[in-house]
Amino acid sequence: MKKEKIQVQSKNAAYVLTIEDFQELFEKEVFYLYEPKDSGFEISKEKDEEYYGWYHK
């Protein structure tokens, strides 16, 4: 959602719909929330502080 509107994107099109238009167009469709899997990658605060603490010449 973007400013009370729904932003729709695919590789062939991109458009913004009001909530009412979205409901009218897709009232019989079923949608699922996509949540990407956690990659397990986590930034180490200690290593980050150490790296940025160095003075690069």
- With 90 as the cut, is the pLDDT of residue 49 above it? no
Q: Is the pLDDT of residue 57 over 60?
A: no
Residue % of the chain over a pLDDT of 90? 28
pLDDT of 28: 94
CA distance 25 to 19: 10
Which range of residues forms the domain containing residue 21? 5-53
CA distance 44 to 50: 10
This prediction has a pTM of 0.47
Cα gap 46→37, rounded to integer Å = 25
Gap between the Cα atoms of 18 and 22, Å rounded? 6
When divided into structural domains, the chain yields a total of 1
Enumerate residues 6+ apart whose C-beta is below 8 A from 47: none
